[in-house]
Every structure is written in structure tokens, then in C-alpha cells.
Structure 1
Amino acid sequence: MTVNAPQAAAWNGAEGTHWAEHQDRYDAVNSGFNDPLLNAADITERDRVLDIGCGNGQTTRLAAARAAQAVGLDLSAPMLRRARRAASREGIGNVSFELGDAQVHPFTEHGFDVAMSRFGVMFFADPVAAFANVRRALRPGGRLVFVCLRERSDGDLGAVLDAMAEHLRAPEPAVPHSPGPTSLADPDRIREVLSGAGFAEVTVKPVDAPQFWGTDPADAADFLFEWAPVRAMLRSAEDPAARAALTEAMHGYHGSSGVQLRGAAWLVTATR
């Protein structure tokens, strides 16, 4: 069952397919946040872990290495197919993946000790209802830990995208708190949502990490150019001048390890 039809359509359509087909590349972009997330989760070998918006399942598999059991939940069937294949290939027996919308998924009450997410909680149609449902799935004293994006301007991606400003559509009027990558960029909003969902001991801390986008500026620009949020901003998805501007901007972040941008997130913890 799902109540977030637009997100379900996106993640089971072109966007989810792109993430599934480029599993390793998206993990390279986001895996710098794995250690902060997992260290804050403080998973023990007795814990049952829920990974919300698990996508291709990298964080679920990493949690399973520390836990008694790990369950990944996501709206995207293409990405879950990838997640199951990777777990099978790695011989991980204490991990499973479920298709569902965390806002309404029929979790077993008190079924988990830890709920975690790497950039999977910014897309809820009703975040208070979604986090309240996750809270119900946690045992008393259970822990919620996630990373979510700060404002685009807080990391290097903002400067890179600004280089394409003349090729972007005029921004539409912002709808406050609408689902999207930066829907939880305001720490006061995070505290409001989690308190409204019944969580206590909420902490919100900034965390930065390198994000690997490509082997060289052209490779990084080509990959970022295919990212759905970028394509949605472009006046024309086939604009060679926009691609050239993006490639040029990537030169400032090219080093011996390829093209790395500094990513900016909030590390959030809370307790049931």
C-alpha cells in the first residue's frame, strides 16, 4: 500500500531505474555518509534494524554485518531487485527487503531496535505520519538515526549548479515542506516533525563528506546531467552549452582521486 503516488511513480519509473542501473555510482556519491550514520546508530549484534528508503541496499547490507537482522524498505521495485541481488551475491543471510511506503507500511509494533536512513526520509507526503509509523515499529527506547540533505548552498553542489544558471528554468514558487531532497534542510523543521511524531531526545548535527561524482570533469558532468533533479531544472535536457558549463565547473573539484564535491547533511538522532 502507498499514499505517496508521485514518489512511487518516480522511483518505479525513470528515476528509480537510473538509480538501479547506476548502483555503484550512486553509492560512490553517498557512501561518505555511511560511517557517520552507522556509528551514530550504534548497532549491536542483538539489534533488529529497519533501513528506511534503502534504495539499492548498501546501508542495509552494512547494517546486517553488525546486527541480528536488517530489513530494507523502499518504494522502488527496480532498486529493490538490485538490493536483493547484491545481498545474495555477498552471501548475507540476515537481510531482507520489502516494497512499501514507510508512511503506511504495516510494521510489526515494537519490531525493531533501530530505524535508520541514508537520504531516504525527505520524500514523505506527510512526514509526521510517516515518522509516527516508524516510531510505532520501534521498541520503547528504540533509536532513530538518519542523514538528510542541508540546503544546496551548504555544499559544493550548489556552486556547481549555479554555473548552469542561465540554462535553468525559472524556479517555481516554493511550496513549504513539499517532498523533495531539501524538505528537511531546516533543523527546526526536523525537530518539529519528530516531536510531532512522538520522538524524544532529538539531536541535529551538521556532517560533511566527500562525494565522488566521476573520474574526470566530463565523466562527472555527464553523470550529474542525467540526475533527475538536474534534468527537471534544465530548460533543455539536450542543451550542449549547459553540459559544457557543468563540465567546466567540475574542473575546480578534480584531483588525483577524481571529481569530489563536498556534500552537506544533517545527522539526526532521536529516541522512542
Structure 2
Amino acid sequence: MHQPPRTAIANTAQAQAWNGYDGTYWATHQTRWDAVNDGFNEPLLTAAGIRPGDRVLDVGCGAGRTTRLAARLAAGGAGAGQGTAEGLDLSAPLLARARASALAEGVGNVAFTQGDAQVHPFAPGSFTHAVSRYGVMFFDDPAAAFGNIARALRPGGRLAFVTAAEPGASEWMQAFRALDGILPVGDFAAPGSPGMFSLADPDRTGALLRSAGFTGVEAVRTEADGVWGADAEDAAGFLLGSGPGHHLLAQVGPEARADARRALADHLRPYERDGAVRLRGTAWLVSADRG
């Protein structure tokens, strides 16, 4: 499987995070994160409209779940044109998992590249589609990133991505808010700031895309349930081990950490059903066309 060389990185803070604790945690728990986010796959890929023979770019592909799904759609059936999918991500640990998973699943029309969407030297017009499942929120310069993605798409090419809505709209974030007073929750998830909620304002996102050369921008509020654990204790441990949880726990002592885990498990217990903790996630499904 072809592995293009790594190129220059401009978004150094995120590169450090995703090649450190965050990337390792996500790579180690790839299956669990897919269980959290897989409910958004069908709406995303439907909005993208990938067909056999298409060439798809998956931005911030992580462990490559959506890249592999896009590759299968682009490959088509017998006699169809052989399309391709390429996943781009900052994280070496996640890309290693992506390549291993593609090999294990026998998805051969896929490649993964370590790079920064803000500055990666894409060949102009080399893709028909660009997609992302929660991978475009971490740009420190979103205008540069979306401009670069637009140049990578052919005229008339299609962009579709899922990005987090405002923090209070998702039940997993409400669970973190329930720990305020035990952990320094504060405004670490303020919309518009760098990070997972940076594109929570659809008007701002639309303006960014139009400035980058996209037309027909649409943002549709979309919800899906995610499986966060087998029971409340399991889900609490998983949430507190994630990037936000790890960051908050690092700021307090052992007693507060234990209190936080107990409180979070208590908060999550009402969400236990059908052998799992299921939390509703709310996102913006954004689509646009390359002008």
C-alpha cells in the first residue's frame, strides 16, 4: 500500500497533540471511537454523493473509517471504474491504525498520508470529493485550510463534512459540564476557539467556505446516538481518558479525580440501555460545491 512522504506542518500545536497522548489514545481505542461516531457515516456519505470512479480526499481521516467507506463507494461493483480514496491526517499513530485496518479489510484502493491540510501540496483539481467526519475542527487557520482543500478539488467538486454543534447540544458534553465544581471545566469548549467546537457557528463556517471559493453551502443540524461504553463505569473511564478528560484530570489531585469518576458514572447511569451507554451527539452536516 502506497505511503506518500510526510510534508510540511504548519499547525504545530495540533500536530504535537495528535502525535502525543491524543493520537495514541484514539489509535488504541479505534473501535470504541467508531462506535461513538459511526451514526454520522451514512448522512455524511449521502451528502457527499460518491460514485464509482470518483477520487476522494478524507481530511483529518484519523484511523481511516470514513476513508475506507469512501474507497468502497468509489470502487463500485464489477465493471465499474476504479476510484480511490486518500486519507490525510497529522497523526502518525492514527495513520498506522488506518493502514493496518485497510490491509485487514482488503481495501486496496486507499492510501494514507501524514500531512497538514492547511499547507499540503495537493495537485490542483486532483480530487472529485472531499469529506471529513469530525476532522476539520482543529485547523488553527481554517481559511488557509479550506482554501487549500478547494484548490485540491476539480471545478464542481463536492465537499461534505460533519463538525460539532454547540457544546450544550451533545449529551457527552453535558456529562462533562456535570463535573463543574469537581474539575475546572470552565470554558474549555467555547465555540469559535481552536479545537473541537471551532466550527459550531454555521454562519461563520459558511462565510469561511464561500471565501475559499465554495458555492451552494448548506448546513443541516444532524443527530446520532453513539455507544460510549458497556455500562456507566466503563463509559466514565473512557470519557475521562479522552483528550478533554485527560486535560481536566491533569489539573487536579487524586481525590478530585476519584470524585469526578464517581460523579460521572452517576450522571451516565440513566443513559444505560440495551447493554450500553448511549449518548446523543449533535453536529452540523455541511456540504458545498467547488465553484
Fold match (TM-score > 0.5):
yes
User: Normalized against structure 1, the TM-score is what?
Assistant: 0.97
The Cα of 1:162 is off from its aligned counterpart by: 2.2
Question: 8 Å contact 2:191–2:199 — kept in the other structure?
Answer: no
Task: Name the aligned partner's letter for residue 56 of structure 2.
Answer: V
* 1:162-177 mapped onto 2 (5 Å cutoff): 162-169=177-184, 171=186, 177=192
Question: 8 Å contact 1:60–1:71 — kept in the other structure?
Answer: yes
Task: Give distance in 2, aligned partners of 1:70 and 1:129.
Answer: 22
The Cα of 1:167 is off from its aligned counterpart by: 1.1
Task: Name the aligned partner's letter for residue 8 of structure 1.
Answer: A
> Structure 1 residues 268 and 170, CA, compared in 2 at 3 Å: closer, same or farther?
closer
* 1:236-247 mapped onto 2 (5 Å cutoff): 236=252, 238=254, 239-247=257-265
Question: 8 Å contact 1:231–1:237 — kept in the other structure?
Answer: no
Task: Name the aligned partner's letter for residue 278 of structure 2.
Answer: Q
Q: Which runs of 5+ in 1 are unaligned?
A: none
Residue equivalent to 2:139: 124
Question: 8 Å contact 1:8–1:75 — kept in the other structure?
Answer: yes
CA offsets, 1:97-124, max 9 Å, x none?
0000000000011000000000000011
> Structure 1 residues 62 and 4, CA, compared in 2 at 3 Å: closer, same or farther?
same
CA offsets, 1:208-230, max 9 Å, x none?
00011000000000100101112
- Tell me the percent identity: 52
Question: 8 Å contact 1:125–1:178 — kept in the other structure?
Answer: no
Task: Give distance in 2, aligned partners of 1:3 and 1:237.
Answer: 35
CA offsets, 1:62-120, max 9 Å, x none?
00000010000000000000000000111111000000000000001100000000000
Residue equivalent to 1:62: 69
Residue equivalent to 1:82: 97
> Structure 1 residues 121 and 241, CA, compared in 2 at 3 Å: closer, same or farther?
same
Task: Name the aligned partner's letter for residue 165 of structure 1.
Answer: D
* 1:1-272 mapped onto 2 (5 Å cutoff): 1-67=8-74, 68-169=83-184, 171=186, 177-234=192-249, 235-236=251-252, 238=254, 239-272=257-290
> Structure 1 residues 172 and 213, CA, compared in 2 at 3 Å: closer, same or farther?
closer
Task: Give distance in 2, aligned partners of 1:56 and 1:173.
Answer: 25
Task: Give distance in 1, aligned partners of 2:278 and 2:185.
Answer: 28
Task: Name the aligned partner's letter for residue 286 of structure 2.
Answer: V
Task: Name the aligned partner's letter for residue 106 of structure 1.
Answer: P
What is the total number of aligned residue pairs between the two structures? 272
Task: Name the aligned partner's letter for residue 131 of structure 2.
Answer: M
